[in-house]
């Protein structure tokens, strides 16, 4: 049972984390450089290991919901591109990448906190990342510079997703007491994820500051487009998820994106300025998550007080 103070702390944690990352952006950039880029992957891997210790691999099943979510991403990225093309090629590329990007590693953690079935989200994480790794190179070859490969994308997502999952399952198999203790203290994953968020926002802030020469109107349009797409994907995901009895899983699976991957794809294979859209998406999705945690906590308290 969440105490009111704990509920409020979790609600405010993400906005405060983003503010901290923005204020200490140069320090976060230095930390990333000092660890040769391993700080964020280390946080994400640790966070997923804690979450996966609660997951029984035998309970992971693909569902029709997963196929509908994948279809939305596959078709939606083209719809987003052509719907925003009148605002310019860069804006269209930014919109496309916000839909095409795979599910965030942290979506499983936040989904679990919102009452989603973790096994459902793990199944979609595996499916989505593999599907995007196959589909994205085709899309980027048509709308980008054509140098992306399946291996490049899998090489960035597989270690952070597959390794924690395998280690967690081995831990469950051979050291059940250890995995049981980790699973019982699953709230640790939220605070690890919060640390990764601070670092990511710090890097994002540095990117915006260091690219002050970019066209401000284009940046504004990219930020607005990212907001519209973010809210749309959370809403559509929840609608799809609700039809299969898990609105939270649907919402997080479709709405919470691996923005680090999206920024990398935009900067590497599209016009680099288009990466402002997934950069802004980082802020929007975490504000949505804060609001969802606030609403979920309030509903739990209302049930307790009745």
What is the CATH number for 257? 1.20.1530.20
7 in a domain, yes or no? no
Contacts (Cβ under 8 Å, ≥6 apart) of 52: 122, 164, 165, 167, 168, 169
Length of the chain: 306
* Global confidence as pTM: 0.87
135 is a domain residue: yes
Interatomic CA distance for residues 297 and 160, integer angstroms: 30
Q: CA-CA distance, 55 to 188, in Å (whole number)?
A: 16
Question: Is 225 among the domain residues?
Answer: yes
| Distance (Å, whole) CA 261 – CA 101 | 7
Q: Which residue shows structure tokens 């399952």?
A: 169
28 in a domain, yes or no?
no
d(CA 65, CA 208): 37
Rounded to whole angstroms, the Cα distance separating 4 from 297 reads 8
Residue found by looking up tokens 């906005």 in the block: 15
Instruction: Identify which of 79, 179, 181, 75 has the alpha carbon closest to the alpha carbon of residue 135.
Output: 75
Q: How many domains does the chain have?
A: 1
Q: Would 33 be classed as within a structural domain?
A: no
Q: What is the pLDDT along the chain (306 residues), one digit of tens a residue?
A: 444 456 567 667 778 888 898 899 999 989 888 888 788 888 888 888 888 888 888 888 889 999 999 999 999 999 999 999 999 999 999 999 999 999 987 888 889 889 999 889 989 998 998 899 899 998 998 888 767 788 888 887 777 788 888 999 999 999 999 999 988 887 888 888 888 888 888 887 887 787 766 678 898 999 999 999 999 999 999 999 999 999 999 999 999 999 888 988 888 899 988 989 998 998 899 899 988 988 888 777 666 666
Structural domain contains residue 2: no
Structural domain of 50: 38-305
In a domain, 18, yes or no: no
Q: Is residue 68 part of a domain?
A: yes
């Amino acid at each position: 049972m969440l105490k009111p103070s704990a509920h409020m702390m979790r609600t405010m944690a993400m906005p405060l984390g983003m503010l901290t990352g923005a204020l200490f952006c140069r320090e976060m950039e230095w930390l990333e450089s000092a660890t040769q880029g391993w700080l964020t992957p280390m946080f994400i891997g640790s966070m997923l290991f804690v979450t996966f210790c609660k997951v029984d691999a035998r309970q992971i099943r693909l569902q029709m919901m997963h196929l509908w979510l994948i279809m939305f991403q596959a078709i939606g990225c083209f719809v987003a591109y052509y719907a925003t093309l009148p605002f310019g090629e860069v804006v269209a590329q930014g919109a496309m990448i916000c839909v095409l990007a795979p599910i965030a590693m942290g979506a499983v953690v936040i989904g679990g906190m919102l009452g989603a079935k973790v096994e459902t989200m793990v199944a979609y994480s595996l499916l989505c990342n593999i599907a995007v790794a196959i589909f994205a190179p085709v899309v980027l070859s048509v709308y980008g510079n054509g140098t992306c490969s399946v291996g490049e994308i899998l090489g960035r997502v597989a270690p952070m997703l597959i390794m924690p999952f395998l280690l967690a399952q081995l831990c469950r198999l051979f050291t059940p007491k250890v995995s049981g203790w980790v699973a019982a203290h699953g709230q640790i994953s939220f605070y690890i994820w919060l640390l990764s968020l601070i670092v990511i926002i710090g890097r994002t802030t540095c990117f915006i500051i260091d690219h002050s020469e970019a066209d401000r109107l284009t940046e504004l349009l990219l930020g607005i487009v990212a907001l519209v797409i973010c809210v749309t994907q959370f809403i559509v995901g929840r609608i799809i998820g609700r039809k299969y009895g898990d609105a939270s899983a649907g919402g997080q699976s479709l709405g919470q994106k691996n923005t680090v991957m999206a920024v990398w794809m935009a900067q590497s294979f599209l016009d680099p300025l288009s990466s402002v859209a997934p950069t802004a998406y980082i802020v929007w999705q975490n504000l949505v998550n804060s609001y969802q945690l606030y609403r979920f906590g309030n509903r739990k308290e209302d049930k307790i007080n009745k």
